[in-house]
């Protein structure tokens, strides 16, 4: 009876994976090959092991964001920070200053969004 109760208790730890990778195979690269694979994985936003596995299984990798798209995202984040600062300034100094600055950032965001649409 006591052993049955202890078996029902949660023992903690990491949950079991649904798909367990049981077979491990090594792969050897020259330094140049490793550097190239590492760069490709980095550009795709993946770890090297995931990159190599996906390449072997599918023959191609679809990267999350390319460098240009990452730059657009950084610019949008910067603009979001500026809009937050603008809101604060509007509360402190008055709305006319905030409206003028907001219009400037709105135009910049519109331009960025058009560039992102053009890349699709």
Give the pLDDT confidence score for residue 37 in this predicted structure. Answer: 92
Using 50, 70 and 90 to split pLDDT, how confident is the model at 31? Answer: very high
In percent, the amount of the chain with pLDDT more than 90 equals: 14
Q: How confident is the model at residue 5 (pLDDT cuts 50, 70, 90)?
A: low
Read off the pLDDT of residues 13-24 as tens digits, 9 standing for 90 and up: 888 888 888 888
Q: Per-residue pLDDT tens for 34-79?
A: 999 999 898 888 999 998 988 888 887 666 777 788 888 888 888 8
Q: Between 35 and 98, where is the model more confident? A: 35
Residue 51 CB-density burial (10 A; 0-12 exposed, 13-18 middle, 19+ buried): buried
Predicted TM-score of the model (pTM): 0.42
Place of tokens 């709305």: 95
Nearest-angstrom CA–CA distance, 98 and 85: 10
Local structure of residue 15 (DSSP, 8 states):
P
Q: Which of 23, 112, 41, 37 is nearest to 74 (CA)?
A: 112
Residue 22: predicted pLDDT: 85
Q: Would you state the structure tokens that stand for residue 27, as one six-digit string? A: 């792969």
Greater confidence (75 vs 93) lies with 75
Q: Token match 């219009």: residue?
A: 103
């Amino acid at each position: 009876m006591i052993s049955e109760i202890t078996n029902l208790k949660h023992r903690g730890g990491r949950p079991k994976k649904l798909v367990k990778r049981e077979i491990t195979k090594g792969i050897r690269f020259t330094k140049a090959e490793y550097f190239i694979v590492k760069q490709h994985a980095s550009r795709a936003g993946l770890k090297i092991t995931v990159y190599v596995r996906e390449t072997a299984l599918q023959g191609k990798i679809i990267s999350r964001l390319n460098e240009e798209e990452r730059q657009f995202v950084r610019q949008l984040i910067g603009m979001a920070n500026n809009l937050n600062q603008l809101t604060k300034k509007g509360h402190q100094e008055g709305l006319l200053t905030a409206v003028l600055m907001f219009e400037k950032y709105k135009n910049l965001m519109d331009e960025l969004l058009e560039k992102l649409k053009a890349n699709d």
